[in-house]
A and B are shown apart, each in its own frame.
Chain A
């Protein structure tokens, strides 16, 4: 079952989203949400996922502040009103 969710877009990807900082998507899982993004903003998927379909090494994805690697990665289920954040991994320390 799909739900309406929000996705926060990091600065390096906003050229692809017409400078939108937050976009809405309809999806059942994080993986679905990425596919939904791709259908409306072509090219965004290859920025986020590598050739094997895994989240790129330098991209961190969070659902409501939790890193999806502590959840079920791209299979993480979503519910109505969830917020996904895409954040460059290279920061801090």
Chain B
């Protein structure tokens, strides 16, 4: 790390807990010394390191060895042949952060970086504004690190995501409002209290953690960048950081230069970025979210502008899917691959299906879908939409009657 730098005007700032430029409010980003990094970051060096996101540590913004979340990442990249066939594409891969350690979402990546850096800067209380997964991850990782945590969430979140924050002893504050209101309040709280808000004043460090998902995809494909990557968009940060990861490893010579396309996925009930992309705009209009994909329900996406830019530059596309399409896609992924994703995963699979069907992802190509969270946390969204168990007495006769009725139903169907 060399400094923080404004993405808009290029002014540099010291490596402190600060996230926007004083002059134009542009986002601050971490600057690295790539010439120096190139010397130590070789295939051989990386492959000799433990299988976690920290094997790419030169490209992650901590000064010393990480102290929080050292085992996060290196989640499976699953070759999804049955889903590929169902969607009509030659080759398909699932990057599976639904089984990330410790809280089953990609947020463990960003939190690991943010809390390691927060400790370096001397903070003892950490906080976040969250749609659920981030709150879970901050709560768990803070508990393990002995840090005090305040997590702020919209009050109407899924029960699973609320319990998954409370269990770690974090202070859970439920705000009567949607995420954008939680976020606004947190921006004001962060200005007033001396806490490390992972996605406010620690955001330049935090956001960089998402790059590790891109590094892993490339390494797991045998050091190459996939032709197509489909990424769910809430704030748009994950999408911009996976693109940045691909740029960095290309710059360092770790992968061959080849064009790649970054595609963005949203829910129709909260589609400020995808609707702008489809209309050919380079700015978005904020919306009031109304979707079962609560983890993506950000109506005023902080990185919306940059996400649109990345899709334009890489000739990628964006699409959105309805609540019913999200549920259908969750089921399709589960039935084809044995993977139970949360609603955001349904958004990604549903959007991939549309992009393949319309040729925006050509059937002859290869694609990676980013599955960022686990279905066990959003049971509410699919309960009642995936059938009911058939209840019988512990009697062989009852079971055989049930089977016979089923085969008759199959014959007549």
Q: Which residues of A are at the interface with B, using a C-beta cutoff of 8 A? A: 8, 10-13, 15, 21, 47, 56-60, 62, 65, 67, 69-70, 85, 87-93
**Complex interface: chain A residues within 8 A of B23 (CB):** 47
| Beyond known contacts A57-B283, A89-B25, A92-B302: 13 more, CB 8 A cutoff | A13-B22, A47-B24, A58-B27, A59-B25, A60-B300, A69-B286, A70-B288, A88-B19, A88-B25, A90-B203, A91-B186, A92-B179, A92-B298
Q: Output the nearest chain B residue to A14 by Cβ-Cβ distance.
A: B191
Closest A residue, CB atoms, query B22: A12
Interface size class of B (residues with CB under 8 A): 35 or more
The reply to whether A88 and B305 form a contact with Cβ atoms under 8 Å apart is no
B213 within 8 A of A: no
Cα–Cα distance between A62 and B300 once the two chains are bound (Å): 13
Contact A93 to B285, CB < 8 A, known contacts A12-B25, A87-B188: no
Residues of B within 8 A of A13 (CB): 22
Partner of B300, one of A10, A15, A85, A89: A89
13 cross-chain CB contacts under 8 A: A11-B191, A12-B25, A21-B192, A56-B24, A67-B300, A69-B286, A88-B19, A90-B203, A90-B302, A91-B187, A92-B186, A93-B199, A93-B237
Q: Does B235 contact A (CB under 8 A)?
A: yes
B21-A85 in contact (CB<8A): no
Q: Shortest Cβ distance from A47 into chain B, in angstroms?
A: 7
| B contact residues around A67 at 8 Å (CB) | 180, 286, 300
Q: Which residues of B contact A47 (CB under 8 A)?
A: 23-25
Q: Are A93 and B20 in contact (CB under 8 A)?
A: no
List A contacts of B283 (CB < 8 A).
57
CB nearest to B19 among chain A residues: A90
**CA gap between A8 and B305 in the complex, in Å:** 25
Asked if B103 CB lies within 8 Å of chain A CBs, one says no
Q: Classify the interface of chain B: helix, strand, loop or mixed.
A: loop
Task: Find chain B residues with CB under 8 A from A69 CB.
Answer: 285-286
Separation in Å of the A38 CB from the closest CB of chain B?
A: 16
Which B residue sits closest to A92, measured CB to CB? B183
CB distance from A49 to the nearest CB of B (A): 11
Point out the residues of chain A lying under 8 angstroms from B182, CB to CB.
Answer: 92
The smallest beta-carbon distance between B243 and chain A, in angstroms, is: 15
Q: A12-B25, A58-B25 are in contact. Are A91 and B305 (CB under 8 A)?
A: no
Does B113 reach chain A (CB closer than 8 Å)? no
Partner of A92, one of B20, B22, B129: B129
B:185-238 near A, CB below 8 Å: 186-188, 190-192, 199-200, 203, 234-237
Tell me whether B160 is interfacial, beta carbon within 8 Å: no
- Looking at the assembled complex, report how far the CB atom of A46 sits from the nearest CB atom of chain B, in whole angstroms: 9
Smallest CB gap from B183: residue in A: A92
Q: Which of A57, A65, A88 contacts B187 (CB 8 A)?
A: A88
Interface residues of B in 155-202 (CB under 8 A from A): 177, 179-184, 186-188, 190-192, 199-200
Q: Report, nearest first, the 3 A-B pairs whose CB atoms are least far apart.
A: A93-B235, A58-B25, A92-B183
